[in-house]
Amino acid sequence: EPKLLAVLRVSLPMKSAMAALSENMQHHLFRFFLMTLVLGFALWLVVWALIQRPVHQLVAAMERVGEGDLRAVMPAHGTREWKIVSEHFNRMVGELSRGKDTIERLHQEQLTHADRLASLGELSAGLAHEIKNPLASIKGAVQVMRDDLKSAAHRETLGRIDGELTRMTKTI
């Protein structure tokens, strides 16, 4: 059976114990606040480096493409996902550039073709004018000769000539 050998009585004033407790609590709160601040800043850096910066780069590249600069590229760095986004964006811009080049080439070909057709039209109009004038003169002379002739056979021949001249004039 245990025996009680001595009793120790400790007495501390409450004021000093509360002051020590309060000072200890203030130190812990300050350390907690400082650690929260440091961790928050570190988290912000990680978010900025992994998300915000690539998003800003993508938006800047998209704005350049929207303004017509099809040489804009998105650098392929960062996380695996951002590399995939960069590759797809760059491939899309490349396709747009090739499509634009094709459209410009086809447009130039159409302009050249239209210019050739316009020149051909001008030539045709000039040629038709140069042919119609002599035909009209010949037609007039044939009609005068037909009216003056007494021979029915000759008038019939000149009538056929007049008909062919009319057909040629309508064709031109």
Residues in the chain: 172
Give pLDDT tens digits along the chain (172 positions).
778 888 888 777 788 778 888 999 999 999 999 999 999 999 999 888 878 888 888 899 999 999 999 999 988 887 888 899 999 999 999 999 999 999 999 999 999 999 999 999 999 999 988 888 888 889 899 888 888 888 888 888 889 998 988 898 888 8
- pLDDT at site 106: 97
pLDDT of residue 105: 97
Alpha-carbon span 160 to 154, nearest angstrom:
10
Rg (CA), the chain: 50
Taking a C-beta distance cutoff of 8 angstroms, is the pair 74, 89 a contact?
yes
The whole-angstrom distance between residue 7's C-alpha and the CA centroid of its chain comes to 91
Distance separating alpha carbons of residues 72 and 27, to the nearest angstrom: 53
Structure tokens at 30: 């300050």
User: What is the maximal distance between C-alpha atoms in the chain?
Assistant: 175
Question: pTM of the full predicted structure?
Answer: 0.53
144: exposed, middle or buried (Cβ count in 10 Å: 0-12, 13-18, 19+) = exposed
Look at residue 82 in the predicted model and tell me its pLDDT. 86
Buried b / exposed e across 16-29, counting CB within 10 Å, b at 16+?
eeeeeeeeeeeeee
- State the pLDDT at residue 148: 84
> Which residues, including other chains, have CB under 8 Å from residue 149's CB and lie 6 or more apart?
155, 158
